[in-house]
């Protein structure tokens, strides 16, 4: 990962990362974007906290804070990081992350596994429809395989035995919440519940459609709103080297 970036995209789902690319491409003219990817091996225990520690190992040598952005579980890592390491975060943009951060599509999947006597493949097929609606980005079989891989390799805080939790609440850095009015996982009311934790300057934007991966279907629209948020953040917070911040404290 190159250190020459103003924005860092966070990804913990390697098989789904191509769905981020249209938005990253749309954002590129406005900012230098780095891409951080966390790959968990099968012999490791699933741990969001470890992902946060690994992210800090990448960022702690920087001399300036960075804009963080992430979708789903990648966004949850960004949220946890922003709460632990405020000085390194210029702003945080969350895509399809609910006010209860642990309620990802993985939580829906494991809940269905417990309630419905169906095979994993059938429940994953139902998950594909819930996540993408009728407009799939790839054939059904491919998407089922991608979700199955994510269950095994992403730092998912859930299992068949227990649904994990992630602390709720806002952050000190500027926060943007992005969602879709047709998301069946992080529903519009769940998105709006974030406003109870907002401070001045925080913002909520909802795409008109696109389901859980709205940024794949509406990259230009999402890029326009996110770029506007970054611009407003820069106006409120002039760039200050981290070493000056530390000296001031």
Domain range annotation of the chain: 7-100+166-248, 105-153
Query: 91: closest CA among 17, 4, 177, 23?
Result: 177
pTM of the entire structure?
0.93
Note the pLDDT tens digit of each residue in 98-130.
999 999 999 999 999 999 889 999 999 999 999
Q: CB 18: neighbour CB atoms within 10 A?
A: 12
Q: Any alpha helices (H) in the chain, and if so which ranges? A: 21-27, 48-59, 73-84, 105-115, 120-132, 140-153, 188-192, 214-217, 219-236, 242-248
Could you read off the pLDDT of 171-226 as tens digits, one per residue?
Answer: 999 999 999 999 999 999 999 999 999 999 999 999 999 999 999 999 999 999 99
Identify the CATH assignment for 7-100+166-248 out of 3.40.50.1820, 3.90.1150.10, 3.40.50.720, 3.40.718.10: 3.40.50.1820
Q: Please, which pLDDT band fits residue 236 given cuts at 50, 70 and 90? A: confident
* Dihedral sign from CA coordinates of 4, 7, 13, 18: negative
Distance (Å, rounded) from C-alpha 176 to C-alpha 173? Answer: 10
DSSP 194: G
What is the DSSP secondary structure assignment for residue 6, as one 8-state letter?
Answer: S
């Amino acid at each position: 990962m190159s250190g020459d970036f103003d924005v860092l995209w966070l990804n913990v789902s390697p098989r789904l990362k191509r769905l981020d690319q249209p938005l990253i491409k749309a954002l590129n003219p406005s900012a230098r974007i780095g891409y951080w990817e966390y790959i968990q091996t099968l012999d490791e225990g699933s741990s969001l906290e470890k992902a946060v520690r690994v992210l800090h190992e990448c960022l702690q040598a920087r001399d300036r804070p960075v804009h963080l952005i992430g979708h789903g579980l990648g966004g949850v890592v960004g949220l946890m990081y922003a709460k632990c390491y405020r000085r390194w975060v210029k702003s945080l943009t969350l895509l399809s992350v609910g006010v209860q951060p642990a309620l990802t599509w993985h939580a829906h999947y494991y809940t269905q596994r417990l309630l419905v006597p169906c095979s994993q493949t059938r429940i994953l097929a139902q998950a594909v429809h819930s996540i993408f609606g009728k407009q799939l980005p790839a054939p059904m079989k491919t998407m089922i395989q991608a979700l199955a891989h994510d269950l095994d390799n992403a730092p998912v805080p859930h299992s068949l035995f227990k649904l994990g939790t992630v602390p709720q609440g806002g952050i000190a850095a500027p926060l943007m919440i992005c969602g879709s009015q047709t998301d069946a996982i992080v529903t519009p009311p769940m998105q709006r519940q974030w406003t109870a934790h907002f401070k001045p300057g925080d913002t909520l934007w909802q795409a008109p459609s696109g389901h859980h991966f709205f940024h794949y279907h509406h990259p230009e629209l999402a890029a326009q709103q996110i770029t506007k948020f970054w611009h407003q953040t820069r106006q409120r917070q002039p760039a200050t080297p981290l070493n000056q911040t530390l000296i001031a404290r």
